Chain A
Amino acid sequence: MNKQTDITNWARLLHVLLLRPLVKLFSGINVTGKENLESLNQYIIIANHNSHLDILLLYYLLPVSHIVRTHPVADKPHFSKSRFVFRLVDFFFRPIWVTRGKPDLSDDPFGEIKRIIDDGQNVIIFPEGTRGVPGEMQHFKSGIGRLMSQYPEIPIVPVFLVGPERALPKASALLLPIWNNVIVGPPQLCVGDHREITRHLEDILIELSRSESARRHKRSPQEPRAVKHIAFLGIDGSGKSTASRMAAEAISKSSRICLVSDELQFFEQGEAREIQPLMTEKLRRVISGYAKKAKSLKLYKIPKLMELLLRNKLLEEAERWYSPDLIVMDGSPLLNLLAWSVLYKKEEIDRETCTKALAVLSGRGGDIGHDDPIFNRFPELVHMKRLGLTKLALPDIVVLIDLLPEVACRRIDTRGEQKQVHETADKLERLRQAYLQVCEVVEKDWHIPTLILKGERSREDLCRASIDFVMKSIDTGPE
């Protein structure tokens, strides 16, 4: 016991003589509303969490006598990576160690925290759970509400921190001297349902974030122009190229349209305009030529994949160089790729796998771990992820022209061109099923407006229906 007191006294001394002057001289700190904290005896501090500096700043606030009786809640596995760091953190802050995401099932998940509070000590909690995107506040985890609903008599002191997210952001080990502003809000007593408490506390922090001392210079906002992508899908011979072209022409009466089809075109005021040629487009055409001449599905695979990736690159470039309002695509690199992989797999693929693959390919699968079964099903995804090829554009509006393969084959025959390797009735049928499945995923799981048209209708009819749908979806927005 005596030794313990010794250690805490040392910690307190070092806080006052070392850490506080360091924060003050190296980083600089301004505190607004410190009086909110001074009159209190026991409290719980909540703060936004952006950086490892946060905890130092919060300790800077505390009255000296409270340093040893205040404990932050910290994630044990995160700090256990290095023994030295763990010891250091344990010495200075004596945190309440918890394991994130894995509540102790044997007893109350708040057991240790409650013991500390019942003991009359103070607790520091970061209700966002973890350090988030720099400068953005995440939604609070419900834990704070659940805990506080059991302690209606203990005041909560909301604190908003500005500066640490730039001085030491999450992904960086370089500590910069940047001035910190600490805004202490008035103490709150929380009564009610745990959901209400969580929401209430979140609102208070958001309000603090709008206060004068949290404000900062902003460059004139340059919102990235949201160019909507409209994808026309369908099996070969379904008439999607014609439909996309007609749609592009029709919509371009009121806006600037870039059509990414077998060739790249630009439409303005209802007619095609001459455009500056793009290197990527030329390369894509050459590769597409190889793909069309391929003798077997196996030989078809690589050039087709490259063609799709180049087509995706083309979308970015078209956006940058031609600055269109809308991009109309004959096929979508992402969805085509997915449909083709379903075709190649030759087995039933359920909707969940499809959704996950879509998430990975479109670069939105941040929360899908490396050990996810999806990577066993599609080993190609691992390679694509490693090569950084998983940033395929997800279209904003999807139109699928659903045509029976027999009809499609007949149409292809009448074209008189050389037949591609997959243009047989049974393969097209599988491809059609794959497209239908992809569209279902896109519509149900990603909430993207999707229209499925029966391909047997006349061209004009198809075109009119798709244009009506596109116009309606643009007006109502993507959500």
Chain B
Amino acid sequence: MGGTYPEVWAMTDSIATISLVAIFSALSIIRVARVFIRKRFPFDSYLGYSWLFFLSLTVAELISFSIGIWILALVSFWAIREYFSLIDIRLQDRLAIFGAYLSIPFMYYFIQIDWYGMFIVSIPVYAFLAIPLLVALGGKKTEGTVFSIGSIDFGLFLFVFCIGHIGYLSLYSSWMAALLVVNVLICDAAICIVRRKIITVWGRLIASYFLPVPLVVVISLALSGWTEIPDQHSVILALMIPVLVIMGHQAGRYVKADLGIKEDLLIPGRGQILDNLQSLLYAAPVMFHYIRYFLK
């Protein structure tokens, strides 16, 4: 009697791992198929970034958490590199940008060693203190300093700090992170569909919320055995995530428009990465802190 209980757990555990690998393999097949099918789908870049996240989670689960987290660090690097390539930097801001790149390993290291207190202040305190100084040390021109500090800090916060929350979430449990990525993917897909079919602003807003909600709730509840999130919290999170995704899209739309990115001409290096990650930027930190506050 005493022996069966852990056995059942071990079994569901391995099923959980196998499912993770299965999702990852499915996404990989889609990616490989993309190479042969030359036709571009509007949505396949989203599948691409999900593939990256699942790669990170699968590696974390099967091989080592450290390697998985550094794959995520690479995603942060690509995202912020694209952002820095798009904004108007002055030549003397280059030192600060170098510092911003350095803060990626700085932060991900604290995730790797599970030091929450330091992780949460790494960028909002230390990196944000370093960057104005680096901007000041970089050159003599004072004009535009405020804009430079602001735009570098903003990029660092969104594309390193917010993405880093997914990493810390996967430290709690790979399936929590997987749930987040899957739910956000569903919301993204819903928004893609809604944008083509509905023109009125309010119609779009309501449809992009209510279209994905049933599926997100069902998935959250179905996976609650693996994510170990109690049912009531699963439902609350599932109701929250679509809102956060819509918020991310709205903020991202304005940022992209200002950076001069055309929505119909997204390529890596010119807005595609920002576009793919924008919906996670709000969802990841909020879901992480919700779980940390109520469940840990």
Contacts and interface: CB of A to CB of B under 8 A. Distances in A.
Interface of A: 28-30, 134, 163, 166, 169, 171-172, 174, 176-179, 181, 212-213, 215-219, 222
Given A176-B101, A217-B260, A163 B85 contact: yes
A270 B260 CA distance: 47
A222 B143 contact: yes
A135 to B, nearest CB: 9
Interface in B179-212: none
Nearest to B85: A179
Interface string B69-89: 000000001100110111111
B81 A166 contact: no
Nearest to A135: B91
B260 A179 contact: no
24 contacts: A28-B81, A28-B268, A28-B269, A30-B269, A30-B270, A163-B85, A166-B85, A166-B89, A171-B91, A176-B101, A177-B77, A177-B84, A177-B101, A178-B81, A179-B81, A179-B82, A179-B269, A181-B269, A212-B265, A215-B260, A216-B88, A216-B260, A218-B88, A219-B88
Contacts of B270: 30, 179, 181, 213
Interface in B63-114: 77-78, 81-82, 84-89, 91, 94-95, 97-98, 101
Contact of B268 (A30, A163, A174): A30
Contacts of B262: 212
Contacts of B89: 166
A28 B77 CA distance: 11
Interface of B: 77-78, 81-82, 84-89, 91, 94-95, 97-98, 101, 143-144, 147, 258-260, 262, 265, 267-270
Given A28-B269, A30-B269, A216-B88, A174 B82 contact: no
Q: A134, A215, A219 — which one has the most chain B CB atoms within 10 A of its CB? A: A219
Contacts of B85: 28, 163, 166, 178-179
Contacts of A181: 269-270
B139 to A, nearest CB: 10
Contacts, number: 64
B87 A217 contact: yes
Given A30-B267, A177-B77, A217-B88, 6 more contacts: A28-B82, A28-B85, A174-B98, A179-B82, A212-B265, A216-B260
Contacts of B144: 219, 222
Contacts of B86: 179, 216-217
B89 to A, nearest CB: 6
Contacts of A213: 270
Contacts of B147: 219
Contacts of A212: 262, 265
B260 A176 contact: no
Contacts of B87: 217
B72 to A, nearest CB: 16
Contacts of A179: 81-82, 85-86, 269-270
